[in-house]
């Protein structure tokens, strides 16, 4: 019978002070201090298994630091004593041997690695390097051609192609054969260093053989599109637009390729924030895609044209484009989004009747769309702002009827909470309390539950106390001594790959561990869509459980944010509390607690910021160059590093201690700026205090909950809800407290006229 999972399967091996320090330094890619600490640990143990594992870690550190002779020595010891990791240790020992100029040893070791291993392709490429160094070009060609046949879409494909072409040159093959391979690299992998080298070889071949370079580098429309896609995905917008434009100039371009190129050319311009230029490009794309009968891109072109015209204030044209997107195929996923956008344009034109007619039609016109709740919410919000409370109640009640529970983090409990506010405005406290109780029950530990609990506390102390007791009481029959998790036995748990994954995980080698698990289908999806299949959900909980026990919170929390949301339907009581503890761990707790106290901010908001900004991954970097646990951007880091003695370099911001030193000072300054009024802290962290002051000038006299709903930018508004929700979750989960959230923004915080 396949075994069940246990905590011990993923428990880290490293327990002594030296080992813990070494593992921390290793995770931060600080190889020399990690090596020194692992060596100190090795000198103190006589346990044979522990010695073998320490030799492995020392060898990896030495390899990364360039001390290849010592690396080979330690890695060979590990290879001889850790048979479970034979492929992994063989490859790394081979790599160290290669760079230590011991090619025979390198090739011999690399040849023992199983091709299907997670390091199989690296071992094959290493053997190719040995053959190249020996000048055996016939063998080089055969080796890399074999690699490409076995792994046609595998990793390091550009490098393998380059080596085959290089061998062709040495083997006196026709230059056209080598040129063809070099061109493929430049087309399919244009931003790699191999593309630059391939281009240089094409130039050299053209010179040597007197070939027309312009002809050799001429691309077809299809090739330009392939190249453009790579540039587009890498956010190289001007270059991708130029590549798509080149494809469109090809007189032989097919209708399908013309549609593709026209749409993505417009997308490149849109991403570059030239909305005016993008608007007419999307019009051209819609026409091209209609000719090509590409309904998907025709709809997306019309929709994006609407967005472009909306940005530049051409609301009438935007409405027509959105209406076109709805009409082409009402079953398309963009159709209900287009209707929602159309309503926004009617709002901009001040056409209230059209707004209501448009939004109210969404459930009927698009009954399977994912914007039903949002449409009803907007109708209710519009009525609320106009003090039409009966209409607000009507639309929010309709929202609850159509979507009883919205599991989007920014919508959990939203209509229930606002129904309470509407009833309170009508002086109907009994109905208001019932609605807030509904919000609390349906949105455990979420943003709107926090607001509802505060309104309940302000309105009826007895009802508040009863509700707190309700959400604090474990269900009947709960046995606190019983295991929090019981996973069904699975064949996967007995596989060698799973055993290797657990061994790597316990060593702190999370990346290769995840690669082993991926081969078994035991990793989270790459998207952000909820998983409903019970079997897949249990697998994801199993992986979250193991990564959590291994202390790899960046990996353990990911599926709990997007894929496995079942735990969020119940408060963290009874057996369900264990799931919440995985989703909201105390990562970097000592570090964050220390700096929160130093900067006089509640620890719950400090850790909430870290969870939502970086997911506890200290080396993460965003597209906006925000770095580390607190996601400091260079300009902010420079300001708040003053007086710390820390140079806010990229390297230093990847260090948790230095990053939190700076980031916590920024958070403390915001908390002080707003005199502890917590609701203004998250939007200030996201949009800057100047941005929030601008919001306060426009809407500072609104109630605090209204102020958040009134944040114009979707990203900043939803970020605020997300962080405040996490702030409440941490406060409740670990301290059983409901933070006080007054609903009046203090006048002292409003900017002076």
pLDDT tier at 359, thresholds 50, 70, 90:
very high
CA 76/CA 728 separation, integer angstroms? 51
Residue identified by tokens 């494909």 is: 157
CB 79 within 8 A of CB 72: no
Residue among 380, 389, 306 at smallest CA distance from 348: 306
Average pLDDT over residues 649-656: 96
Residue-level pLDDT at 105:
98
Residue 311 has pLDDT above 80, yes or no: yes
Residue among 246, 231, 217, 242 at smallest CA distance from 189: 231
Residue among 197, 209, 210, 264 at smallest CA distance from 237: 264
CA 89/CA 70 separation, integer angstroms? 14
Longest dimension (CA), the chain: 92
What are the structure tokens assigned to 588, written together? 């970097």
Average pLDDT over residues 180-207: 96
Residue 438 has pLDDT above 70, yes or no: yes
Residue identified by tokens 């997911």 is: 615
Task: Work out the number of other CB atoms within 10 angstroms of the CB of residue 668.
Answer: 18
Average pLDDT over residues 17-31: 96
In sequence order, the β-bridge partners of residue 506 are none
C-alpha 701, offset from chain centre: 36
Residue among 135, 72, 83 at smallest CA distance from 106: 72
Task: Work out the number of other CB atoms within 10 angstroms of the CB of residue 570.
Answer: 18
Residue 2 has pLDDT above 70, yes or no: no
> Average pLDDT over the chain, rounded to whole?
96
Fold category of 220-370 in CATH: 1.25.40
Residue among 611, 618, 615 at smallest CA distance from 726: 611
Say whether 475 sits in a helix, a strand or coil: coil
Residue-level pLDDT at 507:
98
Listed in sequence order, the residues at least 6 apart from 4 whose beta carbon sits closer than 8 Å to its beta carbon are 486, 487, 488, 489, 493
Cβ contacts of 510-518, under 8 Å, gap ≥ 24: 510/547, 510/550, 510/552, 510/555, 512/88, 512/118, 512/119, 514/555, 515/118, 516/118, 517/543
| 217 or 610, higher pLDDT | 610
- φ, ψ (nearest 5 deg) of residue 381: -65, -40
- Domain layout of the chain by residue ranges: 7-216, 220-370, 589-749
DSSP track, 634-662: HHHHHHHTTTTT----HHHHTSHHHHHHH
Domain spanning 7-216 has what CATH number?
1.25.40.10
Residue identified by tokens 């709740």 is: 373
CA 407/CA 309 separation, integer angstroms? 32
Task: Work out the number of other CB atoms within 10 angstroms of the CB of residue 37.
Answer: 26
pLDDT digits (tens, 9 = 90+) for 696-729: 999 999 999 999 999 999 999 999 999 999 999 9
Cα dist. 714→185, 467, 750 in Å? 40, 32, 23
Residue among 643, 676, 682 at smallest CA distance from 662: 643
CA 751/CA 733 separation, integer angstroms? 36
Sign of CA dihedral 296, 299, 303, 308: positive
Do 7-216 and 589-749 have matching folds? no
The pTM score is 0.91
What are the structure tokens assigned to 183, written together? 């061109």
Q: CB-side exposure of 196: number of CA atoms within 13 Å?
A: 3
Residue 483 has pLDDT above 90, yes or no: no
Cα dist. 164→98, 134, 147, 148, 382 in Å? 21, 15, 10, 9, 65
CA 191/CA 212 separation, integer angstroms? 24
pLDDT digits (tens, 9 = 90+) for 56-65: 999 999 999 9
Residue 498 has pLDDT above 90, yes or no: yes
Q: CB-side exposure of 646: number of CA atoms within 13 Å?
A: 24
Least confident range from 104-108, 235-239, 260-264: namely: 235-239
Residue-level pLDDT at 407:
87
Fold category of 589-749 in CATH: Lysozyme (1.10.530)
CA angle centred on 176, ends 174 and 179, rounded to 5°: 125
pLDDT digits (tens, 9 = 90+) for 140-181: 999 999 999 999 999 999 999 999 999 999 999 999 999 999
> If DSSP states are collapsed to H, E and C, what string results for 438-465?
HHHHHCCCCHHHHHHHHHHHHHCHHHHH
CA 516/CA 63 separation, integer angstroms? 22
CB 435 within 8 A of CB 400: no
- φ, ψ (nearest 5 deg) of residue 62: -65, -40
Helices and strands, counts by H and E, the chain: 42, 0
Residue 329 has pLDDT above 60, yes or no: yes
Cα dist. 21→24, 48, 386, 728 in Å? 5, 21, 60, 32
Residue-level pLDDT at 451:
99
CB 391 within 8 A of CB 372: no
> If DSSP states are collapsed to H, E and C, what string results for 514-556?
HHHHHHCCCCCCCCCCCCCCHHHHHHHHHHHHHHHHCCCHHHH
Residue-level pLDDT at 663:
98
Say whether 748 sits in a helix, a strand or coil: helix
CA 212/CA 354 separation, integer angstroms? 62
DSSP state of 404: S
Residue among 89, 713, 103 at smallest CA distance from 410: 713
């Amino acid at each position: 019978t396949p075994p069940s999972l246990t905590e011990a399967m993923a428990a880290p091996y490293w327990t002594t002070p030296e080992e813990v320090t070494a593992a921390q330094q290793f995770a931060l890619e600080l190889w020399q201090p990690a090596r020194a600490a692992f060596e100190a640990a090795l000198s103190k143990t006589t346990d044979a298994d522990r010695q073998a594992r320490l030799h492995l870690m020392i060898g990896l550190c030495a390899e990364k630091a360039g001390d290849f002779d010592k690396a080979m020595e330690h890695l060979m010891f590990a290879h001889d004593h850790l048979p479970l990791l034979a492929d992994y240790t063989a490859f790394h020992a081979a790599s160290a041997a290669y760079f230590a100029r011991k090619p025979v040893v390198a090739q011999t070791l690399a040849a023992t690695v199983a091709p299907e291993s997670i390091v199989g392709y690296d071992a094959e490429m290493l053997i190719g390097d040995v053959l190249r160094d020996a000048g055996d070009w016939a063998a080089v060609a055969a080796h890399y051609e074999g690699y490409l046949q076995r792994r046609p879409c595998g990793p390091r494909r550009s490098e393998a192609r380059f080596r085959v072409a290089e061998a062709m040159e040495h083997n006196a093959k026709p230059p056209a054969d080598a040129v063809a391979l070099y061109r493929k690299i430049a087309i399919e992998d244009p931003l790699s260093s191999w593309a630059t080298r391939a281009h240089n070889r094409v130039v050299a071949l053209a010179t040597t053989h007197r070939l027309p370079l312009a002809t050799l580098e001429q691309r077809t429309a299809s090739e330009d599109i392939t190249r453009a896609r790579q540039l587009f995905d890498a956010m190289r917008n001007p270059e991708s637009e130029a590549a798509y434009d080149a494809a469109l100039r090809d007189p032989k371009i097919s209708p399908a390729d013309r549609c593709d190129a026209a749409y993505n050319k417009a997308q490149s311009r849109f991403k570059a924030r030239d909305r005016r230029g993008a608007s007419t490009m999307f019009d051209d794309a819609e026409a091209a895609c209609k000719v090509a009968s590409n309904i998907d891109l025709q709809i997306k072109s019309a929709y994006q044209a609407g967005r472009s015209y909306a940005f530049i204030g051409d609301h009438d044209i935007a409405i027509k484009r959105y209406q076109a997107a709805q009409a082409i195929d009402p079953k398309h996923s963009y159709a209900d989004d287009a209707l929602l956008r159309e309503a926004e344009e009617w709002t901009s034109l001040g056409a209230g009747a059209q707004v209501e007619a448009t939004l109210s039609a969404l459930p009927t016109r698009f009954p399977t769309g994912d914007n039903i709740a949002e449409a009803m919410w907007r109708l209710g919000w519009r009525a609320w702002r106009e003090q039409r409370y009966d209409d607000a109640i009507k639309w929010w009640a309709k929202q609850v009827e159509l979507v009883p529970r919205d599991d989007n983090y920014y919508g959990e409990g939203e209509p229930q909470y606002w129904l309470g506010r509407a009833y309170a405005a009508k002086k109907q406290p009994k109905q208001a309390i019932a609605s807030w109780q509904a919000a609390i029950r349906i949105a455990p530990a979420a943003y709107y539950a926090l607001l509802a609990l505060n309104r309940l506390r302000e309105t009826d102390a007895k009802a508040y106390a009863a509700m707190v007791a309700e959400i604090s009481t474990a269900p009947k029959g709960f046995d606190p001594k019983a295991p929090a998790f019981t996973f069904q036995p699975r064949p996967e748990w007995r596989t060698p790959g799973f055993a290797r994954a657990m061994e790597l995980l316990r060593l702190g080698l999370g990346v290769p561990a995840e690669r082993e698990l991926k081969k078994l289908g035991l990793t989270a999806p790459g998207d952000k869509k909820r998983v409903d299949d019970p079997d897949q959900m249990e697998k994801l909980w199993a992986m979250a459980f193991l990564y959590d026990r291994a202390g790899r919170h960046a990996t353990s929390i990911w599926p709990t944010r997007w894929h496995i949301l079942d735990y969020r339907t119940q408060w963290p009581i009874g057996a369900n509390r264990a799931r919440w503890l995985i989703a909201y761990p105390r990562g970097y707790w000592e570090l964050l607690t220390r700096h929160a106290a130093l900067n006089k901010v509640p620890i719950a908001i400090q850790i909430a910021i870290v969870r939502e900004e970086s997911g506890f991954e200290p080396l993460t970097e965003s597209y906006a160059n925000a770095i580390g646990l607190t996601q400091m951007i260079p300009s902010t880091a420079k300001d708040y590093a003053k007086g710390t003695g820390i140079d806010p370099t990229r390297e230093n911001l990847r260090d948790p201690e230095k990053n939190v030193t700076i980031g916590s000072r920024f958070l403390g300054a915001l908390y002080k700026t707003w005199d502890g009024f917590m609701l203004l802290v998250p939007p200030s962290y996201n949009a800057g205090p100047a941005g929030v002051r601008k919001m306060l000038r426009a809407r500072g006299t609104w109630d605090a909950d209204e102020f958040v709903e009134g944040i114009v930018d979707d990203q900043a508004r939803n970020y605020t809800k997300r962080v405040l929700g996490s702030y409440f979750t941490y406060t409740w989960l670990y301290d059983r407290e409901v933070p006080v959230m007054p609903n009046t923004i203090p006048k002292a915080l409003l900017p002076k006229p």
